[in-house]
Structure 1
Amino acid sequence: MSADSPGTVAVIGAGTIGLSWAVLFAAHGWSVHIQDPRPDLEEAVAGGLRQFAPTLLEPVAAEVLERRVRVHTELGAAVNTVDLVQENGPEDLGFKQRLFADLAAAAPAGALLASSTSGLQPSDIAEHLADAAAARVVVAHPFNPPHLLPLVEVVAGSRTSPDAVERAMALYRGLGKVPVHVRKETPGFVANRLQSAMFREAVDLVLRGVVTPAELDTVVTESVGPRWATGGPFLSYHLGGGPGGFRHFLEHLGPGMARRWRDLGTPELTDEVIARLVEATEGAYAGQDYADLTRARDLREIAVLNARAQARTDT
């Protein structure tokens, strides 16, 4: 692989995540092989390229992307010449174990084998593989949509080689991503655990009638959303402590935060709760088409990312 010819990737699974990955790889000049047994594969790929191309941070015409993409129904043909496999199949451990056994057998011996799983552990995925194959297995968990949001959580299994982690970090960095090495296997990794914690409290606040779903969304987008987009929790609280920094914050405001920790909700997603949340959320956003909402979200995220990049340049 080189800057002029980044490489060849097999994107396994042509759902939303897989298609978004494919657009990102193609936009950076990779040759992309997409494999999925779905009968409408060619139509799905063409539609995904048209949908996601306009919302790349650096737009590339869908026609250009199409020339870099090939579709395959057979796994072997998709992976036999690649440098990287980016797997996006169902969140089912048995399925992934069988799939990665097939990938290890069919892909070149040096190819990285990466899973986009949002919660399964690489050690478990590679459990039945030979050591040489397990050494190349990593989780490379993106944040949706992968073609737009920068984060990739890179997680090694117990038998993953340090070289594979280094290669993965460099590879995703070359795609314009911001890879973070998650140093211990943990369910949900980091970003989804943070989301889950905040969403648990959001659900509790809605169920208790403190706010509606739309009002809760407004609270986030008008407060912690922009704050964390520029600093993250630790830096935000470090600055919140004034000249005394994080120590001052924890000494003076930490006790109140600890009291709130003890008061945080622990709702259960029963059928009744799900029905209430769905009715309230669908009511809040009724009459707005999924595609329109998605495009509006992506354009707002592009604006935030571009503004943040410009601010970094100016400083």
Structure 2
Amino acid sequence: MARPLPQDVKHVVSIGGGPIGAGWAAHFLARGYDVTGYLHAMPEEAVYRKILDTAWLSLEQLGLAEGASRERLRLTDNLEDAVRTADFVQESAPERLDLKQALYAKLGTLVPEGVVISSSTSGFMMTDIQMLCPTPERTVIGHPFNPPYLLPLVEIIGGKKTSPDAVEWARDFYAHAGKAPLVMKKEIPGFVATRLQEAIWREALHMVANGEATPEDIDIALMNGPAPRLAIQGQCMAFHVACGEGGMATNLDQFGPALKLPWTRLQAPELTKELRDRMVDGCDAIAAGRHFEEMAAERDRAIVGILKAVKAARAGGV
């Protein structure tokens, strides 16, 4: 196979013109790669470049790799031309299974032999995506967290027809490209981080539906409660350390029995029009008329600060 070593990748192809596809392109450009962005249609270019503008401000603050330049980006709406010399392909097409299956039927032939094709999907399993692909052994999930140019996590898993070496290669490549890869133990819907996020989302929707809290209340509680701690310690270690010398054993032995009800009492709430409107109105109130681009830039500035602080803390600098 013609697959390059992870550290020898030079040309990355990012498929998709939305925030994830453009965000991935920004990340790879900042790491010093040549990047080809594939768009469904060239009129998408204006929005694509706005996303890149926003991303680049933060990436410059974090520090660009040697040779990193936005001039190393090429955009095209010709799929065959885009992937002809690819060393790696990151697919971020819209979340429609039929669309992805049709796309992988093409990519399986067009992408150079052996080159890994990775999907950013947040909901589908690779076993389903690769169903029509003529070379499924080199297809994997590489699920990022949004924005992909800032948040390090990439969740990796193959499908039933994926070769284990493709998963291993993807892990090594993402690590070399500055990501924090997590190779999953098995294929599951929603992966790991999204499932944890969905649990918070489920509880939030219930509280809004029952009039127990507003969207603003929920965000205040998260931002000023568990969120800062989770940046340093994950949920498991946070509870382990919180219980002193007894650690997680104390946590589960003392509090576990009392938590059985809240662990099991709630299923997904029905998304009624009333709940939908409460969520929309609540988020509009928090936004207070600010445009998406303004809020995204504000978010990114804060994430950059957090990433720098966490890096310093882990290095013993604060």
TM-score (norm 2): 0.92
Whether the 8 Å CA contact 1:35–1:72 is kept in 2: the answer is: yes
Of 11, 22, 25 in structure 2, the residue corresponding to residue 22 of structure 1 is 25
Which segments of structure 1 move beyond 3 Å, counting only runs of 4 or more?
1-6, 262-266
Partner of 1:126: 130
| Number of residue-to-residue matches in the alignment | 312
Distance in 2, Cα, partners of 1:70 & 1:253: 55
Partner of 1:175: 177
State the Cα RMSD in Å: 2.0
Whether the 8 Å CA contact 1:150–1:176 is kept in 2: the answer is: yes
Alpha-carbon displacement from aligned partner over 1:28-74 (angstroms, at most 9, x marks no partner): 1111011112232443343232221011262449x963211111111
Unaligned runs of 5+ in 1: none
Of 126, 129, 147 in structure 2, the residue corresponding to residue 145 of structure 1 is 147
Alpha-carbon displacement from aligned partner over 1:124-152 (angstroms, at most 9, x marks no partner): 1111233xx11100010000000000100
Structure 1 residue 226 displacement after superposition: 1.0
Partner of 1:34: 37
TM-score (norm 1): 0.93
Partner of 2:15: 12
| Secondary structure, counterpart of 1:160 in structure 2 | coil
Unaligned runs of 5+ in 2: none
Whether the 8 Å CA contact 1:150–1:178 is kept in 2: the answer is: yes
Structure 1 residue 294 displacement after superposition: 1.0
Partner of 1:272: 274
Whether the 8 Å CA contact 1:41–1:71 is kept in 2: the answer is: no
| Secondary structure, counterpart of 2:131 in structure 1 | coil
| Secondary structure, counterpart of 2:62 in structure 1 | coil
Whether the 8 Å CA contact 1:5–1:30 is kept in 2: the answer is: no
Partner of 2:74: 70
- Match for 2:182: what amino acid? V
Whether the 8 Å CA contact 2:152–2:178 is kept in 1: the answer is: yes
Structure 1 residue 255 displacement after superposition: 1.6
Distance in 2, Cα, partners of 1:266 & 1:104: 37
Partner of 2:249: 247
Structure 1 residue 4 displacement after superposition: 8.4
Cα distance, 1:128–1:42 mapped onto 2, change above 3 Å: closer
Partner of 1:292: 294
Distance in 1, Cα, partners of 2:245 & 2:7: 48
Instruction: Tell me: higher relative CO, structure 1 or 2? Use CA pairs within 8 A at least 6 residues apart.
Output: 2
Distance in 1, Cα, partners of 2:6 & 2:202: 43
Superposition pairs of residues 60-99 of structure 1, within 5 angstroms = 60=64, 65-99=69-103
- Match for 2:40: what amino acid? P
Alpha-carbon displacement from aligned partner over 1:165-188 (angstroms, at most 9, x marks no partner): 111001111121100011211111
Of 100, 103, 112 in structure 1, the residue corresponding to residue 104 of structure 2 is 100
Of 302, 312, 315 in structure 2, the residue corresponding to residue 313 of structure 1 is 315
Distance in 2, Cα, partners of 1:64 & 1:259: 52
Distance in 2, Cα, partners of 1:275 & 1:149: 30
Partner of 1:303: 305
The alignment-based identity, stated in percent, is: 38
- Match for 1:30: what amino acid? Y
- Match for 2:114: what amino acid? G
